[in-house]
Amino acid sequence: MTEDPALKLGVGFRSDAPEHADDLTGLPQRQAFFQHLETLCARGHGSLLLCDLDYLKLINDTLGHPAGDAALVEVAGTLRGHLHPGWQAYRLGGDEFAVLAPVDAAQLAGWASAVMAALAARPGRPLRLSAGLAGIMPGSTAQRLLAGVDRRLYAAKRRGRGRLVSDDEGAGAPDHNPRLLERDEALGQLTTRLQAALNTAHGTALVEVRTGRGGGLSAFLQVADRAAQLLGYRTLSIQGNRSRRLRQYGAWATATLDGYPVNGPAGHRPLWMA
């Protein structure tokens, strides 16, 4: 798909000028973002992506603010490095980023998925984004568009984070099924305990788990995986097939590495670990 040069952003405005750049990441900030968003809305064509770096506060609290700053710089660099001509990424503040592109929503969604996968696959410590996206239609206003995309971003957070939401299905609905340990405070405590245990000679930790409605072992293990990944460890989760005979011979129904599927049902290609 080719882009119309007339739809490129930043006409008459230098978003890369020092006075408009974020000190940490070098990305344009809110002033440039809102001006460019108004420009695209006036043209009635383009797409908006809003994304948050998941668990930034937890990274700061457990690994230190330099680690948090490094994560933000990594996200900014990855966004910038994947941009097509005429596209622009912004840091809106804190853990919030945005991308404006003069293309339809489907094209920006494919691009965003590739960026999120690249961050999740980075060596050492994977980073994940929660994101919302929408296309700009004729008659769209900046305020209405921003509110809608922000609603989708928070729907991504409610659905488990680390994902892109580009529709309104369930975007405004309250969460009636809270899961165990999904709050940052609980995850922070678990990460801190795990970090302390790994720094001791015995390498063991006692964690008290109190379940609520919708909680259970599987929910706890999901949070434990995330805590380990925040500390830079890779995690492999395997779920056995219901057939005892298959389990006995080492088959599994599903497997995920660092939270991402690595094979299909039992009988598909084997999983090899380096």
Among residues 71, 50, 51, 52, which one has the least CA distance to residue 60? 71
- Start-end ranges of CATH 3.30.70.270 in the chain? 5-165
Among residues 215, 199, 218, 196, which one has the least CA distance to residue 207? 196
Q: Average pLDDT, stretch 3-28?
A: 62
Q: Rounded to a whole number, what is the distance in angstroms from the first to the last CA of the chain?
A: 39
Which 3 state secondary structure label does DSSP give 24? Answer: coil
CA-based Rg of the chain, rounded to a whole angstrom? 21
Of the two residues 224 and 110, the one the predictor is more confident about is 110
Q: Residue 128: which region, alpha, beta or left (left: phi > 0; alpha: psi -120 to 50)? A: beta
Beta bridge partners of 50: 98, 132
Q: pLDDT-derived band of residue 239, with 50, 70 and 90 as boundaries?
A: low
Annotated catalytic residue within 95, 167, 168, 258: 95
pLDDT, one tens digit per residue, over 47-91 is: 999 999 998 988 888 888 999 999 999 999 999 999 999 999 999
Beta bridge partners of 135: 47
Among residues 257, 254, 237, which one has the least CA distance to residue 267? 254
Q: Name the DSSP letter for residue 1.
A: -
Q: pLDDT-derived band of residue 167, with 50, 70 and 90 as boundaries?
A: confident
**Which CATH number is 5-165's, of 3.30.70.270, 2.60.120.10, 1.10.3720.10, 1.10.240.10?**
3.30.70.270
Q: pLDDT-derived band of residue 112, with 50, 70 and 90 as boundaries?
A: very high
In the block, residue with structure tokens 């996968």: 117
Predicted pLDDT of residue 195 = 65
Of the two residues 145 and 201, the one the predictor is more confident about is 145
Q: Residue 267: which region, alpha, beta or left (left: phi > 0; alpha: psi -120 to 50)? A: left
pLDDT higher than threshold 70 for residue 247:
no
Which 3 state secondary structure label does DSSP give 99? Answer: strand
- Examine the residue annotation and report whether 95 is marked as an active-site residue of this protein: yes
Q: pLDDT-derived band of residue 246, with 50, 70 and 90 as boundaries?
A: very low
Residue 230 contacts residue 266 (beta carbons within 8 Å): no
- Report the 10 Å Cβ neighbour count for 55: 26
Element (H, E) at 97: strand 96-101
